[in-house]
Amino acid sequence: MLEVICGSMFSGKTEELIRRLRRCRIAGQSVVLLKPVIDKRSVCEVKSHNGNTFEAKEISCGEDILKASENVQVIGIDEAQFLPEDAIQAIIDLSRIYEKRVIVSGLDMDYKGRPFGIMPTLLAVADDITKLHAVCEDCKQNASVSYRVTEEQEQVVIGAKDKYVALCWKCAIKRDASKLGVYSESDVLNSGEKI
Average the pLDDT over 179-195 and give the result. 51
Dihedral pair phi/psi, residue 28, rounded to 5°: 85, 15
pTM: 0.86
Given a cut of 80, is residue 52 above it in pLDDT? no
The answer to whether 117 is annotated as binding is: no
**Is 159 annotated as contributing to ligand binding?**
yes
* In the predicted structure, residue 6 carries a pLDDT above the cut 80: yes
pLDDT tens digit sequence for 145-157: 999 877 766 676 6
Instruction: Tell whether 111 is in a known binding site.
Output: no
119 close to 157: Cβ distance less than 8 angstroms: no
Condensed to tens digits (0 to 9), the pLDDT of residues 76-127 reads 999 999 999 999 999 999 999 999 999 999 999 998 888 999 999 999 999 9
Are 136 and 167 in contact, with CB atoms under 8 Å apart? Answer: yes
Q: In the CATH scheme, what architecture does the domain 2-191 have? A: 3-Layer(aba) Sandwich (3.40)
Query: Is residue 98 annotated as involved in ligand binding?
Result: no
Q: State the catalytic residues.
A: 79
Please state, in angstroms and rounded to a whole number, the distance separating the CA atoms of residues 12 and 100. 24
158 marked among binding-site residues:
yes
Task: Return the pLDDT at 54.
Answer: 74
Rg (CA), the chain: 18
